[in-house]
Amino acid sequence: MAVPADAPPRRAREVAISVLSLALAAAIWLPAVHWFFQPDAADELGPGLSERSAGLAARFQDIWADPAERAREVERMRSMNAEWDLMGRTFLVASLANIALRDPSLRGPALETVDRIIDDTLARERESGPLFFLLGYANDSRWVMDPPRSQFLDGEMALMLGLRRLVEERGDYRVLLQERVATIVDRMERGPVLCAESYPNECWAFCNSIALAAIAIADSLDGTDHAAFLARWVRTARERLTDPQTGLLVSSYTLDGRTLDGPEGTSIWMAAHFLQLVDPSFAEEQFRRAKDGLARSILGFGYSREWPPASPGRRDIDSGAVIPLLEASTGASGLALVGARAFGDDDLYCSLLASLKFGGFPIGRDGRLSYGASNGVGDAVILYASVLGPAWDEVRRRAAP
Amino acid sequence: MSDAPAPVPPPVAVPPGLLARLRGVASGFVLRAAAIALLFFVAEAAGFRGYVAVIASTESPAALRERSVEVVLAATYIVLYLAFVLLGPTLLIADVIRAVLRWLLIPKPGATVTAPNRATPPPG
């Protein structure tokens, strides 16, 4: 067969044109993809309950209304991480309290679920002990403080009770909150850096900041005054619990303040949010530092690193999947939603929501929503980020002279 | 032995296949994008998206191994989803760009390129 003399150059030119076309097309399309995943800002940032939030909340309320479904969900969560069982409850209660304050017409069903969660959590604590919601290593070593108690459970339980009472007073919860806060303060005062253990000789900024927020909420409800203690805690944290490289609160430390884990996205976004009730300027500073060190964007999709480049750490179960090279952490990115929303950083919030819409695999059915790439605790955090605000406003309103 | 040239076998008429027929109406890029879209919509309609939760759920690694079929379906869905969102539109845009580049850079069949005849003086 005769081959035209110009065939090889022509073929090579065709291939080169195809490759160049693909490269140019990718350069056009990939930076534009995020536009197709942008959230409806008016719906997401408005004063009402967004369609997405309503779908997430409805699914959780279904789960808590059906004992069999609830047992399955709890078992699924505990099979991987018992902590997530408690955290899922806490963030759901926090979400429902905010929803109830945001839209009074939803107060009844929201409080019904909140009370069911609180009563069930208290029952489990009573029946199985204070370490029920902890990972197995809680039993492997000796707690420094006696008797062993976890700030993780005490703080989150107090937060749930306090948030419930912000929406509507309940006498039995009032007593329970006051007792819990007294225990928390007593144990924190006994710690050399004003923190209590979550695990044996292991304190977490996450748990202690939640406990501090619960104390502030209790003060606003009951007229108690822990302002001096809270101020002392912030001074101590600035001096002994911050990472020298980044100025961020470290994640975990021994009871006497020796760092175990440096700053982590899965701690700091949430810690900054809870510290808003303790010291707003310190909280804002932590958020700004976290944003500088951890918040990133690629092709318009926002995400959070788990560790700042200046202070690398080691992966744990809370980090979730960490994408190599980008160091994007699914866990930290979910919690960054809370930070961004709490501090009014709408650009960061919307870019994180775009990532959620792109990579979260939302599954909607009959007005119920969940995220395929998430789990119960992740969905509860996502819901909390979308509805937070009114509870903190209510605390500030009550605390105002 | 004859000096006559060996007879050239007549061209065998190959019935054009489906791909060849399709290529008559669309380029390879467009066909690939269409195939990706078709597979993705089939996976979506079959409810593969629901299996993504299996990978991300709180199941233990041992439980994940027990549900290996669902894990494979979830992984298939994720690959198709990414291909549909990222690769499909890229292929369609590339097809348009390629058509333009070919029009600009590749001489049309039968077209001849003639150098200006320097010996001929310009008119006038």
Select the residue of B56, B58, B93 nearest A25 (Cβ to Cβ): B93
* Residue A401 pLDDT class (50, 70, 90 cuts): confident
Coil vs helix vs strand at B106? coil
A266: closest CA among A305, A298, A293?
Answer: A305
Does the pLDDT value for residue A342 go beyond 90? yes
pLDDT at A54 exceeding the cut of 80:
yes
Q: Which residues of A touch B50 (CB under 8 A)?
A: 363, 372
* Model confidence pLDDT, tens digit, residues A270-291: 999 999 999 999 999 999 999 9
Whether residue B85 and residue A358 make contact (CB cut-off 8 A), yes or no, is yes
A–B interface: beta-carbon pairs under 8 A: 86
Instruction: Say whether residue B65 is in contact with chain A using an 8 A CB cutoff.
Output: no
- B17 vs chain A: nearest CA distance in angstroms? 23
A10: closest chain B residue by CA: B106
Complex ipTM over 0.90: no
Task: Closest CB to B101: pick one of A17, A84, A363.
Answer: A17
pLDDT of residue A55: 96
Report the phi/psi class of residue A201: left, alpha or beta, with left for phi > 0 and alpha for psi in -120 to 50.
left
User: Cβ contact (<8 Å) for A21 and B97?
Assistant: yes
All residues at 6 or more sequence positions from A328 whose CB lies less than 8 Å from its CB, including other chains: A296, A303, A304, A305, A322
Q: Which of B48, B97, B104 is the best mutation test for A, with the most CBs of A within 10 A?
A: B97
Name which residue leads in pLDDT, A400 or A60.
A60
Distance (Å) from the C-alpha of residue A49 to the closest C-alpha of chain B? Answer: 25
Is A17 within 8 Å of B63 when comparing Cβ atoms? Answer: no
Residues 6+ apart with CB under 8 A from A220: A166, A394, A395, A396, A398, A399
Mutation pick from B27, B57, B113 vs chain A, by most beta carbons of A within 10 Å, is B57
Condensed to tens digits (0 to 9), the pLDDT of residues B63-112 reads 777 788 888 999 999 999 999 999 999 999 999 999 999 888 877 766 65
Average pLDDT of the segment spanning A288-297: 96
- Per-residue pLDDT tens digits for A128-167: 988 899 998 898 899 999 999 999 999 999 999 999 999 9
A373/B50 CB distance under 8 A: no
CB of A358 within 8 Å of a chain B CB? The answer is yes
Residue of A nearest to B104 (CA): A17
Q: Could you report the per-residue pLDDT of B25-78, keeping only the tens digit for each? A: 567 899 999 999 999 999 999 999 988 888 776 556 677 777 888 889 999 999
**Average pLDDT of A228-248?**
97
Any B CB within 8 A of A298 CB:
no
Task: Please give the C-alpha separations between residue A364 and each of A55, A261, A368, A392, in angstroms, as whole numbers.
Answer: 8, 38, 5, 30
CB A252 within 8 A of CB A260: yes
Are the beta carbons of B56 and A373 separated by less than 8 Å?
yes
pLDDT band for A80, please (50, 70, 90 cuts): confident
**pLDDT for A312 beyond 90:** no
Q: Give the Cβ contact number of residue A135 at 10 Å.
A: 14
Q: Determine whether the interchain pair A79/B58 forms a contact, defined as Cβ–Cβ distance below 8 Å.
A: yes
| CB contact residues (below 8 A), chain A span 76-95, against chain B | 76-81, 84
CA dihedral of B25, B30, B33, B38, whole degrees rounded to 10: -10
> For residue A237, which of A295, A270, A277, A282 has the smallest C-alpha distance?
A282
Is A372's CB within 8 Å of B105's CB?
no
A residues 18-57 lying closer than 8 A (beta carbon) to B = 18, 20-22, 24-26, 28-30, 33
Residue B21 vs residue A351, higher pLDDT: A351
A354 and B CB contact within 8 Å: no
